[in-house]
Structure 1
Amino acid sequence: MKKLILVLIAFVFAFDASSQKRAEPFAHTFSIVARDSVTGEMAVAVQSHWFSVGTVVAWGEAGVGVIATQSFVNKSFGIRGLALLKEGKSPEVVLSTLLQDDSGKDFRQVAVLNTQGDVASHTGERCVESAAHKNGRNFSVQANMMLNDQVVPAMEKAWFKHHALPLGERMVAVLKAAQAVGGDIRGKQSAALLVVAPKATAEPWNDRLIDLRVDDAGDPIAELERLLKVFRAYEHMNLGDLHVEKGEMEKAMTEYNAAMKMFPNNLEMQYWTAITLANNKDVKKASQMLQKIYTLEPNWRALTSRLPKAGVLNVSEADLKELIR
């Protein structure tokens, strides 16, 4: 392993010596770019034995497309590729344009997908084996420096097998399948999942639907899967908050209960559920929940006393005393 890394480092310095640019990152990895044919959402998921792979490989923009750039990475491919897609160019033209003047194209691995599910992929002849890609309508899976040649077929199979899952969970299932048959020959370190909306909106800060990264972990895919579950739970919490704003307390409680069912030991979820109960005049039940929370973390009691001033908790003085006793 040490010898392999030294060889790679030597190559990068030699490859970059003429321009004196910063060495390009080694994102030797497996990844998938894909589109949900029902929702139109697009995504990139990736895992590598390299630190913070998500900041290097995964690129996407709502209403435009997604790109994975890996192996000896040319990070400009992400931004430049999305700009070309935005101009209306096909993935094939985008990929050809990116590679045509790239002196390192034989070492690149790239996949481009647009809003229609059209895909173009490239695996350079000098990518470290095992290296390959496979694409079809709405997806492309690609891998390099794999333990064996079973990784790409396993990813393709998993993509079709898990068609009923939401796109985020489906992407993670593909990563798990890749790892199960061997994955990266060097092992595991980081992973990422990016999901963008099918269309851009007037609120671009909301157009990245999921953006999760595990920068350094012993089992990054397992951690990514856990974070996705947490994300889904907080989606329920956010929906609950929206229902509270509209005065729809029954619907709010349905969402809060769904979140707590997913993470029964999460004090944050328990706490705001209790506060919603109190605002809905169920002070007794709210107090029972809060007392258990205070026992585990007393600072929540102090927070409760501050909420009335902010207008977040609307109860009488007598009820407040019951809630913070």
Structure 2
Amino acid sequence: MKQIILLFLLPLLTKAQFFKKEDGLAHTFSIVAIDTATGEMGVGVQSHWFSVGNVVAWAKSGAGVVATQSFVNKSFGPKGLLMMENGLSAVETLNTLLTADEGREVRQVGMIDIYGNVATHTGTNCVDYAGHITGENYSVQANMMLNKTVPEAMSKAFEASKGQSLAERILLALQAAQNEGGDIRGKQSAAIRVVKVESTGEPWNDDYIVDLRVDDHENPIVEIARLLNVQRAYEYMNAGDLYVETGEMENAMKAYNAAMQMFPDNLEMQYWTAITLANNGDIEKADKMLKEVYQKDENWRELTKRLPKVNLLNVSDEAFNQLTK
């Protein structure tokens, strides 16, 4: 069966380029990992190169994750995912890709399939310091590092973070790499992508669980950590919305309050929490919160006036007048 798959994919494995300008010189550090307990897999990367996530980081439910870097052969991303999706292991996939690539000695690649098989390659002509470490359910790889201890620092950070979510563990590995010296050229961009291991069979439902990119920033890992925190806060907001739909108002308010505690200055979170309070009959508390929001941005008052028409605000005329005055 695997031989048939290889024959099917051979037309895609045409003579690979040594380097193409549009693919980028992604000298960088990255991690690919899978969490069998939560059913998630992901990839994280940082580099002194613009928009590194667009070049290095690849992930697809039902297939696997890939980090392709150094003198990048960008095709390793989509081709690797396709091959793993069609039944090849990560090891078989990487071996096949490298065999067809004349530039293999300047490539660095890490990949994992949905079964947790890990494959990693660091070409002999990758720029020092370059190396990788493969562990259970993960691989870290780095090239053009200031210090040769970067992969070890990443590995230790990832293994020490068991019990946390996969995205946070990936972030901790990236932070450890940077703290160890990171890219000898400095910092510019970073990305974290996490998907479910199993595909639903419905591509529109196989969206990234986490898909964060910082394309140009003086401290990209710091910024991507902030964005991940923002995402977590909005996940509480989404949970609150679901509780509202099922009439679980106490749980809804707990979720909204958790979000606001993470970002107390976020007007969006304050506003929809207030609207939920109003719909739940707590007009006085909702009114107080809304007035504070209106003071900072009058447009929210206008939005409140539009909500009854679409049944997002269901209060008496008296309460409505109080909330919008």
Q: TM-score, normalised by structure 1?
A: 0.92
Deviation (angstroms), 1:15: 5.0
The question of whether the paired residues in 2 share the 8 Å contact of 1:29 and 1:48 is answered with: yes
Counterpart in 1 of 2:209?
A: 209
Alignment of 1:64-79 (within 5 A): 64-79=63-78
Alignment of 1:1-325 (within 5 A): 22-207=21-206, 208-325=208-325
Deviation (angstroms), 1:218: 0.6
Secondary structure at 2:102's aligned position in 1?
A: coil
Q: How far apart are the structure 2 equivalents of 1:292 and 1:67?
A: 47
The question of whether the paired residues in 2 share the 8 Å contact of 1:121 and 1:140 is answered with: yes
Secondary structure at 1:146's aligned position in 2?
A: coil
Unmatched runs of 5 consecutive residues or more in structure 1:
1-13
For 2:73, give the aligned amino acid.
Answer: N
Structure 1 stretches of 4+ with a deviation exceeding 3 A read 21-24
Q: Percent identity?
A: 59
Unmatched runs of 5 consecutive residues or more in structure 2:
1-16
Secondary structure at 1:46's aligned position in 2?
A: strand
For 1:193, give the aligned amino acid.
Answer: I
Q: Cα 1:304–1:202, aligned 2, differ >3 Å: closer, same or farther?
A: farther
The question of whether the paired residues in 2 share the 8 Å contact of 1:146 and 1:183 is answered with: yes
Deviation (angstroms), 1:64: 1.6
Deviations 1:104-139 (A, max 9, x none): 111100111011211010001111110001102200
Q: TM-score, normalised by structure 2?
A: 0.92
Q: How far apart are the structure 2 equivalents of 1:247 and 1:37?
A: 33
Q: Cα 1:295–1:159, aligned 2, differ >3 Å: closer, same or farther?
A: same
For 1:242, give the aligned amino acid.
Answer: L
Q: How far apart are the structure 2 equivalents of 1:205 and 1:221?
A: 29
Q: Cα 1:233–1:70, aligned 2, differ >3 Å: closer, same or farther?
A: same
Deviations 1:13-35 (A, max 9, x none): x956xxxx655311110000001
The question of whether the paired residues in 1 share the 8 Å contact of 2:130 and 2:144 is answered with: yes
Number of residues paired by the alignment? Answer: 308
The question of whether the paired residues in 1 share the 8 Å contact of 2:18 and 2:73 is answered with: no
Secondary structure at 1:179's aligned position in 2?
A: helix
Q: CA RMSD in A?
A: 1.3
Q: How far apart are the structure 1 equivalents of 2:78 and 2:261?
A: 40
Deviation (angstroms), 1:87: 1.3
